[in-house]
C-alpha cells in the first residue's frame, strides 16, 4: 500500500488503485459474500470488484453484472450451460448479453453467490479476471478462425496466449492490473477485418512480407523466396466521450511468433509512461500524441529488446466485412457453420441451455460470439443440416433475419447502465420492427445504438449510428439521439461522423425511414404507400 502523502494529488481512480490493487480483492470474495453488498466498503464494491469482472449496478443495487473473458469469442457448450445455470437462479432478474467485444455479461448476480459462481467458473475454465476498469478488455479474434477456407491466419491460439500472458492464465496478473486506463486488443485473421481493428488501442492485421531468400528455419537447406505471413500493427484507436480516433499504423510488421512479446512491450510502455492525471486523456493515443510516433515506437523496441521491421506497404484487408449470419461451408469437408442472429445480444437462461444443446447435438459443442452480438455454431455435418434448420430456436434466433434486424447492435442502455442517457435495447428492437414493417430493403443496413457518448455500441462504425442524448422540446427534457453516418467497416474502414444532432426519440422513426430511403435504397411497401396516399 502506498502511503497517503504520496496519493493525495492523484485523481480518484489512481488513488484507489494506489491504496489497494484491484486484484487484491480476489482473496476477499468470501468475506464480501458474508458481509452483503450494503455493508461492504464502497470503493471495493463500486470499483475494485471490477478487477474480477463484478460490476455494481447503481440502477439495480444489489443485483450485480458479471463480465467474462472469452478469448476469440469461443466457449464450449459446458461453459454455456454453467453461465445459464448462474443466471437461471435469479429468475426474472437473470439474463445475459453478448457484447460488442465478442464476450458475454451476466445479470442479476447476488454478492452472496460469488464464491459458488467463481468455483463453478473455475471448474470449467471460465475467467472474469481483469475484465473491467484499467485492464485489457476481452481480446477479439476472427469469429470463423479455423473454419474459413479463405482465412490467412487462425487467430485462436495467439489470442489465448495473449490473454494467458496478461492474466496469468486467468488467475490475475499484477504486472498489468494497473494501467492508466482500459486497453483494447484485436487480431484479424481473415481478409474482412471482422474485429474492427481500427477501433482498438492495439491491433494486428494480416500482411505478407516479401521473402528474403534466407535459409528457412528448421530445414537449414531451402531458401525462402515466398511471401512470409505476419501482421501490420495499428495503435491508438479508441472511442471516448471526449474524443474518438481510428488506430494509426505503428509502421511495424511482426511475425505471429512475436505478437505476444509486442503486446507485452506496448503494454509496459503504456503502463509506465501513459498519462494518468486526467481520466479523459489517458488512453494510449494521448501518449502517442505527447511523444510522437517515432519516440513511442523506439520505446516499444527498447522494451522488446530488438528492432521492429517496417510495416509492409499493403495489408491483406481487401474484402467487405461479413456478418456470418446464415449457413456457410467450412474448410473441413462436409462441415458447416451457422451464424444465428441474437437480437441486440440478449439471452435468457432457457436460450442459453438451448444453444448449448444445439451446439452439442449438431456440432461439436463449440459456440462462438461475434462483435455484432451474434453467435456462430461450428462443425455441423452436412447430413444433419436439414434437421438443424427445423429447430424451433431458429425461429427466434434466425439464420435469415430481416435486413435491419440482421445488423442491429445495441449497448446496454438505461435498463442497467447508469451512464445511459436513454433506453437502448428495447427501443432499438421496437424501432427496427416498425421500420421493417413499412419498408423493403435490398441490402443490410447496419444500425448501432449507444446510450451515451462512451460509445460502447460503436455508432461510429455503423451505416447509421444513434448516440443517446437529452434534448429539450416544448419546455420538456426528452430522450434523444445524435445521428452518425458514414461508418465503413471491412476494407478501407473509416469512422462515421455526427451528421444530425438532437433528435427526440419520439420523432426518430420517420427520420430514420427517410434516411433509409434516401441513402440506402429502401422502399416503402405497397401497403404503406396506400396508407400514405389516403
Ligand atoms: Fe463500454 C464503460 C458496457 C464495449 C467504451 N461500458 C462501460 C460500462 C462498464 C459503464 C458502467 O460501469 O456502467 C458499461 C457497463 C454497462 C452494463 O451494465 O452492461 C459498458 N462496453 C459495454 C458493453 C457491454 C456494451 C455492449 O452492450 O456490448 C461492451 C462490453 C465489452 C466487453 O466485453 O468488454 C462495451 N465500451 C465498449 C466499446 C466497444 C469496443 O470495445 O469495441 C467501447 C468503445 C471503444 C473503446 O473503448 O475505445 C467502450 N465503455 C466505454 C467507455 C469510454 C472509454 C474511454 O476511454 O473514455 C466507458 C467509460 C469509461 O471507461 O470510463 C465504458
Ligand atoms: Fe452504458 Fe453509455 Fe456504454 Fe451504453 S454507451 S453501455 S449507456 S456507458
Model pLDDT, residue 225: 78
Residue 131 Cα to ligand 2 midpoint, Å, equals 16
Asked, for residue 148, whether it belongs to a domain, the answer is no
Q: For residue 31, what are the domain limits?
A: 12-123
pLDDT at 212 over 90: no
Single out the catalytic residue among 170, 402, 413, 451: 451
pLDDT at 221 over 80: no
One DSSP character per residue, 328-378 reads EE-SSTTEEEEEE--GGGEE-HHHHHHHHHHHHHHSSSEEEE-TTS-EEEE
Single out the catalytic residue among 132, 141, 457, 496: 457
Asked, for residue 84, whether it belongs to a domain, the answer is yes
Minimum CA distance residue for ligand 1 atom 7: 456
Average pLDDT over residues 445-459: 98
Asked, for residue 311, whether it belongs to a domain, the answer is no
Residue 456 Cα to ligand 1 midpoint, Å, equals 4
Binned at pLDDT 50, 70 and 90, residue 404 comes out as very high
Tens-digit pLDDT profile for residues 319-330: 999 999 999 999
Cα–Cα distance for residue pair 100/117, rounded to 1 Å: 24
Single out the catalytic residue among 17, 67, 69, 81: 67
Is residue 388 located within the same domain as residue 435?
no
Is residue 166 located within the same domain as residue 62?
no
Binned at pLDDT 50, 70 and 90, residue 85 comes out as very high
Asked, for residue 360, whether it belongs to a domain, the answer is yes
Average pLDDT over residues 500-504: 98
> pLDDT averaged over the chain?
95
Is residue 89 located within the same domain as residue 199?
no
* Neighbouring residues of 520: CB distance < 8 A, sequence distance ≥ 6: 441, 443, 445, 463
- In eight-state DSSP terms, residue 227 is -
Is residue 333 located within the same domain as residue 264?
no
Is residue 78 located within the same domain as residue 168?
no
Is residue 111 located within the same domain as residue 16?
yes
Is residue 49 located within the same domain as residue 189?
no
pLDDT at 530 over 70: no
Asked, for residue 139, whether it belongs to a domain, the answer is no
Predicted TM-score (pTM) of the model is 0.96
Asked, for residue 297, whether it belongs to a domain, the answer is yes
Asked, for residue 37, whether it belongs to a domain, the answer is yes
Is residue 273 located within the same domain as residue 287?
yes
Cα–Cα distance for residue pair 373/407, rounded to 1 Å: 9
Is residue 160 located within the same domain as residue 292?
yes
Model pLDDT, residue 531: 53
Boundary (domain end) residue, out of 384, 400, 416: 400
Tens-digit pLDDT profile for residues 242-253: 999 999 999 999
Asked, for residue 512, whether it belongs to a domain, the answer is yes
Is residue 411 located within the same domain as residue 519?
yes
Give me the number of domains the chain comprises.
4
Average pLDDT over residues 288-293: 98
Binned at pLDDT 50, 70 and 90, residue 4 comes out as very low
Asked whether 71 and 260 are in contact (CB, 8 A), the reply is no
Is residue 365 located within the same domain as residue 389?
yes
Cα–Cα distance for residue pair 229/256, rounded to 1 Å: 8
Query: What CATH number does residue 290 fall under?
Result: 3.30.413.10
Is residue 181 located within the same domain as residue 198?
yes
Minimum CA distance residue for ligand 1 atom 22: 456
**Sheet architecture: strand order including 409-410:** 409-410, 447-450, 464-473, 476-485, 497-504
Amino acid at each position: 500500500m502506498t502511503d497517503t502523502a504520496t496519493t493525495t494529488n492523484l485523481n480518484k481512480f489512481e488513488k484507489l488503485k494506489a491504496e489497494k490493487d484491484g486484484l487484491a480483492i480476489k482473496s476477499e470474495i468470501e468475506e464480501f459474500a458474508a458481509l452483503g453488498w450494503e455493508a461492504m466498503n464502497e470503493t471495493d464494491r463500486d470499483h475494485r470488484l471490477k478487477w474480477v469482472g463484478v460490476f455494481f449496478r447503481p440502477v439495480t443495487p444489489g443485483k450485480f453484472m458479471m463480465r467474462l473473458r472469452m478469448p476469440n469469442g469461443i466457449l464450449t457448450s459446458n461453459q454455456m450451460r454453467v453461465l445459464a445455470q448462474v443466471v437461471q437462479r435469479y429468475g426474472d432478474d437473470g439474463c445475459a448479453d453478448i457484447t460488442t467485444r465478442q464476450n458475454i455479461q451476466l445479470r442479476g448476480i447476488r454478492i452472496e453467490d460469488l464464491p459458488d459462481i467463481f468455483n463453478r467458473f473455475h471448474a470449467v475454465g471460465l475467467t472474469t479476471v481483469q475484465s473491467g476498469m484499467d485492464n485489457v478488455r476481452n481480446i477479439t479474434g476472427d469469429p470463423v478462425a479455423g473454419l474459413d477456407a479463405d482465412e490467412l491466419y487462425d487467430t485462436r491460439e495467439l489470442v489465448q496466449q495473449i490473454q494467458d500472458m496478461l492474466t496469468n492464465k486467468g488467475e490475475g496478473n499484477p504486472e498489468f492490473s494497473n494501467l492508466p486506463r482500459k486497453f483494447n486488443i484485436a487480431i484479424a485473421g481473415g481478409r474482412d477485418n471482422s474485429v474492427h481493428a481500427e477501433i482498438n488501442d492495439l491491433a494486428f492485421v494480416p500482411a505478407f512480407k516479401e521473402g528474403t531468400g534466407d535459409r528457412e528455419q528448421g530445414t537449414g537447406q531451402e531458401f525462402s523466396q515466398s511471401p512470409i505471413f505476419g501482421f501490420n500493427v495499428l495503435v491508438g484507436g479508441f472511442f471516448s466521450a471526449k474524443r474518438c480516433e481510428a488506430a494509426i499504423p505503428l509502421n511495424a510488421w511482426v511475425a505471429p511468433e512475436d505478437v505476444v512479446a509486442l503486446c507485452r512491450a506496448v503494454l509496459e510502455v503504456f503502463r509506465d509512461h501513459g498519462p494518468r492525471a486526467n481520466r479523459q486523456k489517458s488512453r494510449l493515443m494521448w501518449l502517442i500524441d505527447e511523444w510522437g510516433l517515432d519516440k513511442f515506437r523506439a520505446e516499444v523496441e527498447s522494451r522488446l529488446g530488438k528492432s521492429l521491421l517496417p510495416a509492409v506497404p499493403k495489408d491483406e484487408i481487401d474484402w467487405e466485412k461479413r456478418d456470418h449470419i446464415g449457413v456457410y461451408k467450412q474448410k473441413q469437408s462436409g462441415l458447416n457453420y451457422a451464424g444465428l442472429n441474437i437480437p441486440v445480444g440478449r439471452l435468457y437462461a432457457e436460450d442459453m441451455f438451448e444453444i448449448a444443446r444445439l451446439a452439442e447435438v449438431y456440432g461439436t459443442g463449440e459456440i462462438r460470439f461475434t462483435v455484432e452480438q451474434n453467435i456462430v455454431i461450428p462443425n455441423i455435418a452436412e447430413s444433419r443440416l436439414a434437421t438443424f434448420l427445423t429447430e424451433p430456436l431458429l425461429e427466434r434466433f434466425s439464420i435469415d433475419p430481416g435486413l435491419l434486424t440482421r445488423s442491429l447492435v445495441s449497448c446496454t442502455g438505461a435498463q442497467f447502465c447508469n451512464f445511459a442517457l436513454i433506453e437502448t435495447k428495447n427501443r432499438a428492437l421496437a424501432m427496427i420492427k416498425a421500420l421493417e414493417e413499412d419498408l423493403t430493403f435490398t441490402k443490410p443496413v447496419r444500425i448501432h445504438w449507444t446510450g451515451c457518448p462512451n460509445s460502447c455500441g460503436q455508432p461510429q462504425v455503423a451505416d447509421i449510428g444513434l448516440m443517446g442524448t437529452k434534448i429539450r422540446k416544448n419546455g420538456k427534457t426528452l430522450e434523444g439521439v445524435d445521428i452518425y453516418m458514414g461508418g465503413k467497416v471491412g476494407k478501407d474502414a473509416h469512422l462515421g461522423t455526427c451528421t444530425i444532432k438532437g433528435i427526440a426519440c419520439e420523432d426518430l422513426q420517420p427520420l430514420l425511414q427517410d434516411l433509409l430511403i434516401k441513402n440506402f435504397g429502401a422502399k416503402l411497401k405497397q401497403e404503406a404507400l396506400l396508407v400514405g396516399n389516403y
